[in-house]
């Protein structure tokens, strides 16, 4: 077992080769025992009967007609019948099923018959005692011996070989994409982004390649988010920490309630940033799905955010309730912060298969080429959505990651009448 091949291709090839070899041996044995040997035994018995009958006929014929009988026997059946010593002292030439012919002759004659040969000749001779005469009968094995069905054997061997090559070709087509996927998985494990796997071939392998490519991209995005998150923590915490250190140094010389208040405010800002980072980190784990009324959840969010809610008919969905609540809350707060002070509209569309939560504001909207970029961590827009207006740049990143982790979908689009519309779609 130590030297047994480990690769799938080698193991499959070896298994197929052994299976085909066993099949070939079994098929050859069955054909030999059920077809070739019985035919050879019948042919040998027929030849023995012809030889014995010819010898008996030769003995019963008048001496003057025996020569004509010998010529006719040689012309019609290829048998040589004579009383002359032909010098058959050597071993008979080797040919297939010789043993069956000797057995049949011995059984017909009643004594042991041994086939012998003449040097430099392909003929086979035997001595047969009949009616007081020692007759010698000769024949050519090529005419009477049953030949091995070489053509049939060749066809079976060729078919087996072609079947084996075809099986190995198919196995190769399966194992090469798997080996390529294994190599790509090693690259992903090393933190690299491999080349996308070809999404071709059988449906199962194409689906595997598609899912692996998606997974590799998601892993890479997760690593990028982690790097961005660490960079954002070090960058965003440095400013309030510097201010806090400055306030503490100034408090040494001139204690002031105002400076203490500013230090407390800096601590609150730091706590807010850390809370945002922790929320983003927690979005990588999906929440257990439960069945709940989405309209009731929106009513709770509207109450928490002081948003007018006209109410809606019950709409049951199956999703992570806390995740959906946080997504909607973040979208509403985002709309209130950047909506230009205009009222924010919250709506619910309940379809047969999917439900849609819509949050609309009347702000300046987002440039079309940045509608997807705003979902990146720490990405901030210029103008009304710049850092000066507040925010850590994590709100929409948390929304997108929570939605994707829990099987939902969030999109942004600019309204024709002005403002932004955020849509959360989730299965019912």
Encode pLDDT of 156-199 as tens digits.
Answer: 778 778 877 887 787 777 778 888 888 888 887 776 778 888 88
pLDDT at 363: 85
Whether the per-residue pLDDT at 155 is higher than 80: the answer is no
Higher-scoring residue by pLDDT: 231, 80: 80
Intrachain domains 8-144 and 287-427 with the same fold: no
pLDDT mean over 404-423:
89
Contact 418, 365 (CB under 8 A): yes
Strands 409-414 and 80-82: unpaired
For tokens 């959360």, what's the residue? 424
pLDDT digits (tens, 9 = 90+) for 55-113: 889 888 898 898 898 888 888 888 888 888 887 777 787 777 788 888 888 888 888 88
Cα 295 to Cα 256: distance, rounded to the nearest angstrom: 50
Q: Give the domain 8-144 fold.
A: Beta-Lactamase (3.30.450)
Domain 287-427 has CATH 3.40.50.800: no
Higher-scoring residue by pLDDT: 133, 279: 133
pLDDT at 1: 46
Domain segments of the chain: what residues? 8-144, 203-265, 287-427
What is the pTM (predicted TM-score) of this model?
Answer: 0.47
Contact 410, 399 (CB under 8 A): yes
| DSSP assigned state of 229 | H
Q: What percent of the chain has pLDDT over 70?
A: 86
pLDDT at 147: 58
pLDDT at 373: 84
pLDDT at 357: 94
For tokens 């006209």, what's the residue? 310
């Amino acid at each position: 077992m130590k030297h047994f091949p480990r690769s799938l291709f080698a193991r499959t090839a070896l298994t197929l080769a052994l299976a085909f070899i066993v099949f070939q041996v079994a098929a050859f044995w069955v054909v030999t025992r059920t077809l070739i040997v019985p035919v050879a035994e019948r042919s040998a018995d027929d030849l023995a009967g012809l030889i014995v009958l010819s010898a008996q006929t030769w003995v019963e014929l008048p001496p003057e007609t025996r020569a004509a009988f010998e010529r006719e026997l040689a012309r019609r059946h290829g048998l040589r019948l004579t009383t002359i010593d032909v010098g058959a002292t050597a071993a008979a030439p080797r040919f297939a099923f010789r043993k069956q012919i000797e057995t049949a002759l011995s059984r017909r004659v009643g004594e042991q018959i041994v086939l012998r040969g003449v040097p430099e000749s392909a003929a086979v001779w035997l001595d047969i005692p009949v009616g007081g005469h020692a007759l010698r009968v000769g024949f050519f094995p090529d005419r009477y011996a049953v030949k091995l069905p070489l053509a049939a054997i060749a066809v079976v061997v060729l078919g087996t070989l072609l079947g084996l090559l075809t099986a190995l070709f198919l196995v190769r087509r399966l194992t090469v994409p798997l080996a390529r996927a294994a190599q790509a998985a090693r690259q992903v494990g090393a933190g690299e982004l491999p080349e996308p796997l070809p999404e071709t071939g059988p449906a199962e392998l194409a689906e595997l390649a598609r899912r692996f490519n998606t997974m590799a991209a998601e892993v890479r995005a997760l690593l990028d988010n982690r790097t961005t998150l660490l960079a954002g923590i070090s960058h965003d915490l440095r400013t309030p920490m510097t201010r806090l250190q400055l306030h503490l140094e100034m408090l040494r010389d001139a204690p002031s309630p105002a400076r203490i208040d500013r230090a407390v405010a800096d601590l609150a800002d730091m706590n807010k940033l850390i809370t945002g980072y922790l929320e983003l980190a927690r979005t990588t784990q999906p929440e257990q799905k439960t069945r709940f009324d989405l309209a009731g959840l929106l009513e709770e969010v509207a109450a928490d955010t002081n948003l007018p809610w006209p109410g809606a008919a019950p709409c049951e969905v199956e999703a992570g309730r806390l995740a959906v609540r946080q997504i909607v809350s973040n979208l509403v707060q985002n709309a209130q912060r950047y909506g230009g002070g205009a009222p924010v509209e919250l709506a619910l569309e309940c379809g047969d298969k999917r439900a849609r939560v819509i949050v609309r504001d009347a702000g300046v909207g987002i440039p079309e080429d940045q509608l997807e970029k705003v979902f990146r961590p720490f990405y901030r827009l210029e103008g009304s959505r710049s850092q000066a207006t507040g925010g850590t740049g994590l709100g929409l990143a948390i929304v997108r990651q929570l939605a994707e982790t829990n099987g939902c979908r969030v999109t942004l689009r600019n309204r024709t009448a002005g403002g932004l519309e955020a849509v959360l779609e989730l299965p019912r």
